[in-house]
Structure 1
């Protein structure tokens, strides 16, 4: 193969390379932020392989292309930065329901005891076990249920709503992300509110009983009652908590569409 033929082949592959690279630039933040595409638990090599596979699919099968040919290296760098910024916003939105589950679990452990399992002798750590359980449970329910294709289609459909290189960091998109982040925080507080109320009721009852019978030394019963009572209430209400979190996941498709509309 001569040098001229090789250069001709590289020029022919140029638009394809640009499209795959820009698709990958948008998908990389999503893969590192959203647990459905990898998140923090999956090795980086697996996430990058998934990003490359999705980018090739989007370009070769879905026909995602760069609308305007990239002439200079500066233009290409600006397009990459745009795609990274928009992909970060999409990844944050896609990860919000799962972050709400983790926040709710940490809120529960905060009232049961910081962390509740750390109050047990030689049997716990300072990490939030309930937060990790709710987080992993939500991921498992989404993946094994019917919501995973909905979320994935909402993410990939964004390439049709916002073409490559066309995203604009607007005030409407920023406000949308901030509002949804506040909604996720409210969801996390709502998930932990029943157990927090039960823990406060236990503290109130122990305090009143200690005042009524100070000779019984009931203060030592506070921590075990919070752990056991909060755990029992969590076990009984885990179905309701998951339904609330799954509703947040189901609303992701519309939220991603609104983000795309505000970023064009």
Structure 2
């Protein structure tokens, strides 16, 4: 429990520090919160705002010898692992949008058009960036940020500080879910990607039948135009696929927070 009065000020500050670890680790790995354009100060304030009410729900006392001990390091390590696992599960669901954009962009022939992803700071294709922004809007529209905060708060009941260790089955669930999200990204990109491959096959047949035709001056604009039209047609299905992947990521995070899995 939180000590009161100036006599327990130092202990209270240590409790504040412990309360920030799990939410901070989760927000660092999660989408939106973990973006590089989010100031560290804002992330710390949000972590403190979520962590203080959460840690008050469970009995908690600092190690008698302090945090700079073996028991203290074990407590901090458990909090970091639990937070990273919860945030990373949501990030995996969100990453299917980026992968779908990479696949479609390469099929359209615009894989060389790169932009800086504000979420990670890495370079990604323009279409991947577009679907990443779409995924961000869907994540916020379904109140995913509020669900994530709720999952973190609820995790203190089943994974109290000092006992926040994930089992082998839970870690396996995270790894297997990563494979599922690779398949989900391919499935989201499949309708547009497969149609673009057919367009490229037709362009190859035309180039074979008319060798004098400049394939680069005709084929690439035709492929890009077909890709834009197909994206407009498949936009509802793509949005549903991305939303489903994000929901699955939140479900996995909820399962990890409740100490269920495997």
Q: What RMSD over aligned residues (CA atoms) do the two structures have, in Å?
A: 2.4
2:170 aligned residue (166, 170, 173): 173
CA distance in 2, matches of 1:219, 1:247: 38
Summarize deviations over 1:27-59 as a string: whole Å, max 9, x none. 112222212434333122211121122122324
1:79 equivalent in alignment to 2:72:
no
Matched-pair contact (CA < 8 Å) for 1:206–1:219:
no
- Counterpart contact for 2:15–2:62, Cα < 8 Å: no
1:109 aligns with 2:105: yes
Aligned to 1:5: none
Larger radius of gyration between Structure 1 and Structure 2:
1
Give the match's secondary structure for 1:165. Answer: coil
- The structure with the greater share of residues assigned to helix is 1
Instruction: Name structure 2 gaps, 5 residues minimum.
Output: 115-122
Is structure 2 residue 70 aligned with structure 1 residue 70? no
Deviations 1:172-231 (A, max 9, x none): 111011011111111111112222212211111011112122233334322112211112
Structure 1's unaligned 5+ residue stretches are 1-7, 119-125
List aligned pairs for 1:1-264, cutoff 5 A. Answer: 9-11=6-8, 14=11, 16-59=12-55, 63-66=57-60, 68-72=61-65, 73-74=68-69, 75-115=71-111, 117=113, 127-260=124-257, 261-262=259-260
TM-score, normalization by structure 2: 0.83
4+ long deviations beyond 6 Å: none
TM-score by length of 1: 0.82
Distance 1:147 1:46, change over 3 A: closer
| Equivalent residues, number | 245
